[in-house]
């Protein structure tokens, strides 16, 4: 019998809760299973995972295959790393030490990724703010230039009207001089 380690869905509508189970690969997703190997609750923050490590390693050593989603879950919890060390014949104390070191490195890597993401978001926000300020400045300059052009046009028109009025005034004064 070919055995698979995979997730089976539990919980209510739109609130799934998963059990990690060992099951005959021909069974339905939610069908009868051979062993309950733990659970995974994606609706808590951070998500809640409880796995029975020794049972999972026992099933893996019996030749059970692992579904892709279950593999990601086992990899994230360090169980596949632990299983590879067991297959290499490393003693239990050394396995615990290596897994602890691996988990600390994984947590440090996660903290670094979070820090980098925060820095990227802050940089993007700063760039967006700078772009908005530059756009506002360009708009203000364009408005100021338009206002200056309008004022220059109004002044030129006023000068033209004054020149026209002065020319008209001179034109009315010249015939008066010719009469004398």
Residues sharing a CB contact under 8 Å with residue 52, sequence separation 6 or more, in sequence order:
36, 37, 38
| Predicted pLDDT at 38 | 92
Query: Which residues in 102-138 are b (16+ Cβ under 10 Å) and which e?
Result: eeeeeeeeeeeeeeeeeeeeeeeeeeeeeeeeeeeee
What mean pLDDT is predicted for residues 161-177?
71
Q: Which of 67-71, 148-152, 159-163 has the lowest mean pLDDT?
A: 159-163
Position 171 confidence tier, pLDDT thresholds 50, 70, 90 = low
Mean pLDDT of 103-125: 83
List helix spans (H) across 37-91: 53-61, 68-77, 79-88
Residue 115 banded pLDDT, cuts 50, 70, 90: confident
Given a cut of 80, is residue 135 above it in pLDDT?
yes
Q: What Å distances lie between residue 1 and 49, 67, 86, 112, CA to CA?
A: 28, 16, 24, 44
Residue 162 pLDDT class (50, 70, 90 cuts): confident
C-alpha pair distances (Å), 152 with each of 116, 146, 157: 53, 10, 8
pLDDT at 170: 73
Cα separation, 117 vs 111, in Å, equals 10
pLDDT tens profile 10-46: 889 999 989 999 998 888 877 888 989 999 998 888 8
Q: List pLDDT tens digits, range 53-108.
A: 889 999 999 889 999 999 999 888 888 888 888 888 888 888 888 888 888 887 77
């Amino acid at each position: 019998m070919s055995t698979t380690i995979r997730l089976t869905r539990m919980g209510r509508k739109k609130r799934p809760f998963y059990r990690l189970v060992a099951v005959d690969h021909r069974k339905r997703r939610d069908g009868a299973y051979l062993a309950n190997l733990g659970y995974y609750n994606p609706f808590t923050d951070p998500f809640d995972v409880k796995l029975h490590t020794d049972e999972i390693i026992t099933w893996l050593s019996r030749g059970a295959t692992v579904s892709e989603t279950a593999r990601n879950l086992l990899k994230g919890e360090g169980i596949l790393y632990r299983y590879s060390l067991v297959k290499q014949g490393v003693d239990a104390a050394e396995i615990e030490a290596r897994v602890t070191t691996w988990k600390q490195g994984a947590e440090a890597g996660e903290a670094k990724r979070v820090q980098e993401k925060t820095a990227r978001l802050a940089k993007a926000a700063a760039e967006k703010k700078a772009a908005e300020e530059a756009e506002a400045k360009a708009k203000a300059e364009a408005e100021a230039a338009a206002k200056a052009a309008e004022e220059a046009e109004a002044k030129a028109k006023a000068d033209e009207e004054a020149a026209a009025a002065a020319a008209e005034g001179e034109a009315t004064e010249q015939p008066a001089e010719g009469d004398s």
